[in-house]
Chain A
Amino acid sequence: MRRECRAILIAVLIAVALPAWAMQPPKRAPAPPPQTLPADEPAFRITPPASYTAKRIALFPLEIPGYMLKALLWPVGSTLEWMERNHYSDRVQDAISFKSHKIWIYPVVDKSPGTSFGGGVAVKVIDLFQKGDNINADYRVHVNLDMFADVSFRKDELFHIGGVPVALAFKGNWAKRGSFNFFGVGNNSLESNQSSWAENDLDATVRFGLKPIHTLSLYAILGGSATSTGNASTQGIDPANNPPRGYGRWLQYIRMGGGITHDTRDVTWNPRRGGIHSLEVSRFQYMGTGGNFSYNDYRLLLNQYIPLWSPDHTLMLRNYWWLEQQSSGGLPVPRMTVLDADNWLRGFDQGRFRDRSSVVFNAEYYFPLFRRVRGMMLVDYGRVFNGLSNFTFKDFKYSAGGGFDIELTRVIIARFRAAYGGEGVKFLLTLLRKQP
């Protein structure tokens, strides 16, 4: 008890003595050279107040993680600065964008947890027709011969309705995977039950959007998608002999729906304040034979950026709900929602958790390290569940980790993440384009 009393006494003394110290007028310094100051005003040495120094000392612990990561990444930072000083980043930028900075051709790299290493080439075309158009395409092939291709086109002002611009966005994806992880269905699927199947996906979606006010977008969705699975492995769960619903056939859908997005972010890349909140509702109408696999799809995203105590120190909070409502025929397992490293539960392998619905909460803290390097720490908390009626806040899976982004050029970033969720440390390394 005596110790506590002593501590309180010291704290009170500090609280009283420091302001008194701060109140002390600064000592008058020796007279300056006469020709440099106006004659009619007093001259004093302007110094930081003691209160300022006290604040910095008291809150220094908050800065320690930033300093530690900066020390760890010092070779990366100094290499980047050296490259900038010698114009190498400018040269690379000019080379891959033909100096026009409109057409970019650049490499992409992809290594997610639970997948093999992959790489490829990407093309980005910015405002080629000078009408606000934006085209992106990339192709990647992995070591195990999995292949992926994406193409997207966006035009912000396709035409006007009553003075309101209508935007068009097209997005197409193709994926051919020889081995896609399957751990079973449900939140408590075991890591030891890992098996895999071959999967082909094809998806094309067109969105027509209206922006009645600056921050609000309303859009309609029209598209189609198809998924096929087969060639399952016999390790762990055996999908071949005990096939899950929808396995081993082509699942073809037409998609119709709509959505609303409220976007108040200050900038789209590396925002500091504001948020993006969206709700999307779609009907996936089954077009194949041999059953009724139609379902409704609801996605709610709540994403908020909160500026912290210092410039570019930002806290990002995200909550994402993805619900699939099945029809009478049941929801095919290959179309179920997934929580994994690619879906914001970064301490787990690709395809780790699968069920009719999923929810994830993320907190990410971003802080600048070097001129083009941004560090981050993350905490993920999520689970899959079998419909809202069966949802509880128990059995959530969590992962925590960190990483950094390197802004290599105006359109390319290198991203590294490491996260732990109880099943070993998972690493993610990508070379990708900045969104959008």
Chain B
Amino acid sequence: MMRRFFIAVLAAAALIASAQASAYDLRYPPVRWMSDLDRTPHALPVVRHAYDPLDGFLLSAEQDVQAISSFATGLGGASRKHLPGLKVEAIDTNNFDEVADSTWFTNRIGRYGARPDEVADSLSNCSPEAKGALIVSQAVVGKYRPTLLVQDASGNKFAIHLDPPDSPGKISSPATAAALILSNAGFHVAPHCPVTIDRGRLTLADHAHLLGAYGKREELTEEKLSSLLDKQPREMRAVAIRMPEGRPFGRFQFTGRLYSDKNDRMRHQDRRELRGLRVMSSFIGWASISERSTYDVFIETTDSAGYFEHWLLNLTDVEEPGSLPNPIGTGASLLNGAFALMTSLDAFWGTKIVAKYSDSMIEAIVAAARYPDEASAQAAIAGLKSRRDALIRYWFTRLSPLDGFALDPGADGVLLSCNDLATGAGIAEPSQRRYRFQLQSPYGRAILMPWREADACSIGIENDLLNQLRSGRAYELLVQVKDVGAQWWMAAVELAIKSNGDSAIIAGLNRRTR
């Protein structure tokens, strides 16, 4: 009996040890930006839910509709479920700890930088046609505001969330700004537009229905619509959310997998983009983020096959900027399996994106969100900047803020350079920074180049040294940073260097957390 127990313990220990040993691997090509092949067409899964997937999307947070907890998307329910598994690092990252472009996320500002001049253009086609009837097919009685699903003359569908009649812009402007921030980051967010809608343009569809208290569905009549819009002025201020193309499928979950989606290969709580969304939600003040704000669509590539895209919808619960965020995320953390599993590497990834929102980018976004007056616009700008700075100060001082590593050919070897995100964000003085570098064989078995210090994140590696590296084998180049006068160096970034004779490439990196 004891022998068997001993063998079982030994085997388990070996498995764990092997798992730890292979934590630093180079499974993908040595490129920072890549795409995930998750658009392989497959058959449309059978829809197992009996509700209209749009119902949940239209409902506001106050209603907290659990009735349509997504049985269509795998585990069902949402928060505080039995969530098996360990707290491990995200598993959908490439050699450079970046997320591949996929049906979940497409790198934008993190890859291409801020483009303030393009912000206004991105809202050009997200509002309904300026003229013609808006056909209302669905309405929801909200606790504070009604919501309508309309179709314009061109056949595009929009969800219209009305602002409170006495405070136009209270909901629509923060929601638009938040949607612009998330979509520029790379999340698939349905375009949000601040609009003014003439009540006279609203026309009822043939089978329009009203979703009332406790999810009760009833026929939507002219009288009910009038009563719903009773307190609204003729020119109603609202946010129009353009529905994504594709067949609506319901919400996605922040935990588990949708097994009927053949491209869904890993548990959602282990996806970096969903974990890092916690930092983004802290930036935009979206504390109530949950499955309620998510949406899957099935894109049909042929008559019988297609793939899923995963969207974030309905950011009308975003809070107005005010208090500083909790640097490690919002209060939503415990209600969201992916957020609860966020590690410091996930947070660092999110903060790298947040740091890309320059002052001019934030100002352009707030301008596009059409805040009702200058004071509230300035408050929004100040709030976003202070949240951004708080996140940067927290995470860029806990993990090494060195990024953007490059190896370029030099006169007598290669030149390694990198960006210090802390100095770029203004939280550290370039003249007060010191960097050091060490080249070693895997796992530090042999030191090939002892620590060399420099005033800038740049160092030359001579041909003599490169010639010592065995071709095709990955060596570790450790890079550390500290402020002048600081006692300790920050945790190192390990670069995997591969040599091909007199040239070398960076095959990947591993950011140490301690």
- Measured CB to CB, the residues of A under 8 A from B are 3-4, 7-8, 10-12, 14-19, 22-26, 29-30, 32-33, 36-38, 41-52, 54-59, 63, 66-67, 70, 81, 84-87, 89-91, 266-267, 272, 309-312, 367-372, 374
Q: Known contacts A4-B3, A368-B80, A368-B82: does B18 contact A44 (CB below 8 Å)?
A: no
Min CB distance B248 to A, Å, is 19
Is A19 touching B22 in the complex (CB atoms < 8 A)? yes
Interface flag for B19 (CB, 8 Å): yes
Interface flag for B446 (CB, 8 Å): no
Across the interface, name the chain B residue whose C-beta is closest to A29.
Answer: B37
Chain B interface secondary structure, helix, strand, loop or mixed? Answer: loop
Across the interface, name the chain A residue whose C-beta is closest to B41.
Answer: A33
Which A residues are CB-close (under 8 A) to B234? none
Q: Known contacts A3-B3, A42-B34, A81-B77: does B19 contact A54 (CB below 8 Å)?
A: yes
A36 to B27, CA, bound (A): 24
Which A residues are CB-close (under 8 A) to B16? 54-55, 58-59
Is B22 touching A22 in the complex (CB atoms < 8 A)? yes
Is B10 touching A44 in the complex (CB atoms < 8 A)? no
Among B37, B80, B81, B214, contact of A87 (Cβ-Cβ < 8 Å): B214
- Interface size, B (range): 35 or more
Is A370 touching B82 in the complex (CB atoms < 8 A)? yes
Is B87 touching A51 in the complex (CB atoms < 8 A)? no
13 contacts between A and B (CB under 8 A): A15-B14, A17-B18, A29-B37, A38-B101, A51-B25, A52-B19, A54-B19, A58-B16, A85-B67, A87-B66, A87-B67, A312-B334, A368-B83
Is B12 touching A43 in the complex (CB atoms < 8 A)? no
Is A56 touching B82 in the complex (CB atoms < 8 A)? no
Is A91 touching B266 in the complex (CB atoms < 8 A)? no
Which B residues are CB-close (under 8 A) to A85? 66-69
User: Considering residues A29, A32, A91, which has the most beta carbons from chain B within 10 angstroms of its beta carbon?
Assistant: A32
Which A residues are CB-close (under 8 A) to B29? 25, 42, 44
Interface flag for B145 (CB, 8 Å): no
Complex interface residues of chain B between 41 and 91 (CB less than 8 A to chain A): 41, 64, 66-69, 76-88, 91
Among A19, A43, A55, contact of B86 (Cβ-Cβ < 8 Å): A55
Complex interface residues of chain B between 351 and 371 (CB less than 8 A to chain A): none
A56 to B14, CA, bound (A): 13
Across the interface, name the chain A residue whose C-beta is closest to B339.
Answer: A311
Q: Known contacts A12-B14, A312-B340: does B19 contact A63 (CB below 8 Å)?
A: no
Min CB distance A106 to B, Å, is 19
Q: What 7 A-B pairs have minimum CB-CB distances, sorted nearest first? A: A311-B340, A19-B22, A11-B14, A87-B214, A58-B15, A18-B18, A84-B66
Q: Known contacts A4-B3, A8-B10, A43-B37: does B27 contact A23 (CB below 8 Å)?
A: yes
Interface flag for B35 (CB, 8 Å): yes
Q: Known contacts A14-B14, A370-B81: does B36 contact A22 (CB below 8 Å)?
A: no
Min CB distance A427 to B, Å, is 24
Interface flag for B488 (CB, 8 Å): no
Which A residues are CB-close (under 8 A) to B87? 309-311
Is A22 touching B79 in the complex (CB atoms < 8 A)? no
A60 to B333, CA, bound (A): 25
A50 to B77, CA, bound (A): 29
Which A residues are CB-close (under 8 A) to B66? 84-85, 87, 89-90, 371
A150 to B454, CA, bound (A): 70
Which B residues are CB-close (under 8 A) to A309? 86-87
Is B11 touching A46 in the complex (CB atoms < 8 A)? no
Among A7, A16, A371, contact of B78 (Cβ-Cβ < 8 Å): A371
Among A44, A56, A272, contact of B34 (Cβ-Cβ < 8 Å): A44
Interface flag for B28 (CB, 8 Å): yes
Min CB distance B41 to A, Å, is 8
Please give 4 more A-B residue pairs, beta carbons under 8 A apart, in addition to A46-B36, A54-B19: A4-B7, A7-B11, A52-B270, A56-B86
